[in-house]
Amino acid sequence: MKHRHLGRTGLRVSRLGLGTLTWARDTGEEVATELLKTFWEAGGTLVDTADVYADGGAEYLLGRLLDGLVPREDLVIATKAGSVPDPDRRFDTSRGHLLAALDASLERLGTGYVDLWQVHAFDPETPLEETLQALDIAVASGRARYVGVSNFCGWQLAKAATWQLAAPGARTRIASTQMEYSLLQRGVEREVLPAALDLGIGLLPSSPLGRGVLTGKYRNGTPPGSRGASEHLAPFVDPYLDEAAGRIVEAVAIAADGLAVTPLQVALAWLRERPGVAAPIVGARTGRQLSEALSVEELSLPDEISRALDDVSAPVHRYPDQDWSAL
């Protein structure tokens, strides 16, 4: 698998990442072992997790698999902190909480450092400079080698990156931003992606297959065993089962038929080549799904198909994003 630099840094990652959202919950140790081994043998390096996935279970399972299955130094392990199971406060990015969460993640992972440590979401109740100081401390102490953010809107990303570059004594810069991005969700193109491109920040798209909908599996209903049939994940899938999404899925399916490939491969190949994208994070639930995703390495979409998919999935961007001078 080819590798790319993560933003304007020296860190190189495989141009497809392996997500662990369902590990230790819907994905057991046997399947997780198969997924990680298959990914590593294909040249994959970036493995993404978070301290809240399965209440820490995903990190713990990944840590167990690092003990003998895959050499630690062969992987770029990314985790997140800042989400909290508190009904009154969804996020806590205070310095104290973040650094304690990082230490807990390292213990579960069984490693002395993570390659990429990400703030899971913006916390309006904590001063941004306090959050970013925690990132500096993590890098300076050797517990994290690079840092990033997740689920920051455009102005939040720009403010955070600018503070890191300009603040006296700041030791690090934001390497990445992880956001949902797919043919079914192109909202990042409004402000987040332009900011990331200007600031040299790599984009790590989550849910690159539109929460599984772009595979075409929901075209004739919800199949048993799918995320849409899962008690935990059905609300996650439902927003992408509307009529507008259906038109995009049909266009992907038509393109796949014409190229003699699968809708999954078309959707991933389209996203992988978008400007600013470093590595889509694929949350495969079976070895077959992962192998299909890994086969995208050999696929390049013809320009006319890419343009057709651009057109059918194009979001509506008006003032102040474009054409404002004609108003």
Peptide bond preceding 205: is omega within 30 degrees of 0, i.e. cis? no
> Distance (Å, rounded) from C-alpha 89 to C-alpha 84?
7
Q: Are 182 and 313 in contact (CB under 8 A)?
A: no
> Distance (Å, rounded) from C-alpha 79 to C-alpha 60?
12
Instruction: List helix spans (H) across the chain.
Output: 29-41, 57-66, 95-109, 128-140, 154-166, 192-199, 234-237, 243-259, 263-272, 287-294, 303-313
Phi, psi of 273 (to 5 degrees): -95, 10
Catalytically active residues are 53
Neighbours of 132 (CB within 10 A): 24
Q: Are 148 and 81 in contact (CB under 8 A)?
A: no
* DSSP per position, 269-293: HHHHTSTTB---EE--SSHHHHHHH
- Extract the tokens encoding 241: 């089962």
Q: Which amino acid is at 216?
A: G
- Extract the tokens encoding 271: 């996203």
> Distance (Å, rounded) from C-alpha 116 to C-alpha 47?
10
Neighbours of 103 (CB within 10 A): 13
- Extract the tokens encoding 170: 């700041």
Q: Which amino acid is at 117?
A: W
- Extract the tokens encoding 104: 């807990």
> Distance (Å, rounded) from C-alpha 114 to C-alpha 125?
26
Identify the bridge partners of residue 12 per DSSP, sorted by sequence position: 5
